[in-house]
Structure 1
Amino acid sequence: MYQSDITQFLNQLKSQKPTLEEEQRRGRSLLWDKQPIDLDERAANQEARVKQNSYVYYQNF
């Protein structure tokens, strides 16, 4: 059965480092998997924000 060079490389890499997929999942969860947003807390945070002027360097004009 034919296997491309890339497939052979990936199979070899996985056999040399069997924990690779688990490490990838842990890394993905650190960067991408987020906790659900609490809508009440988000609304409270938005209400508590101080509105910033459109051009902050000249506030006295």
Structure 2
Amino acid sequence: MYLFRRPDYRSDATEFINALKKQNPELEAQQRHGRSLLWDREQDPEIRAQYEAGRVAQKPYVYGTNAD
């Protein structure tokens, strides 16, 4: 136990978000649903394999000039 411990700092943004979540309890579920629409998707292995096959190796020094 600390004798001179200060209270934990909470920024105005954190306080605002906490108050918003308290006013609207289903907000986090709505955020997760919105995320699932865009990001949480099954990946197609065939498309992923095509993407990996089409990669081009990077040159060792990318900022150099083409002295070919």
The alignment's C-alpha RMSD in Å is 1.5
The structure whose residues are more often helix, as a share, is 1
Q: Following TM superposition, where does structure 1 have runs of at least 4 consecutive aligned residues deviating by more than 3 angstroms?
A: none
Which residue is equivalent to 1:57? none
Gaps of 5+ in 1: 43-61
- For residues 14 and 31 of structure 1, what CA distance do their matches in structure 2 show? 22
Which residue is equivalent to 1:24? 31
Gaps of 5+ in 2: 1-6, 48-68
TM value normalised by structure 1: 0.55
- For residues 30 and 5 of structure 1, what CA distance do their matches in structure 2 show? 30
TM value normalised by structure 2: 0.51
TM-superposed deviation, 1:18? 0.5
TM-superposed deviation, 1:4? 1.3
Which residue is equivalent to 2:63? none
3-state SS of 1:27 partner: helix
Per-residue CA deviation, residues 2-58 of structure 1 (Å, 9 max, x unaligned), is 32111110110000001111100100010111222042xx5xxxxxxxxxxxxxxxx
Q: How does 1:1-61 map to 2 (within 5 A)?
A: 1=7, 2-39=9-46, 42=47
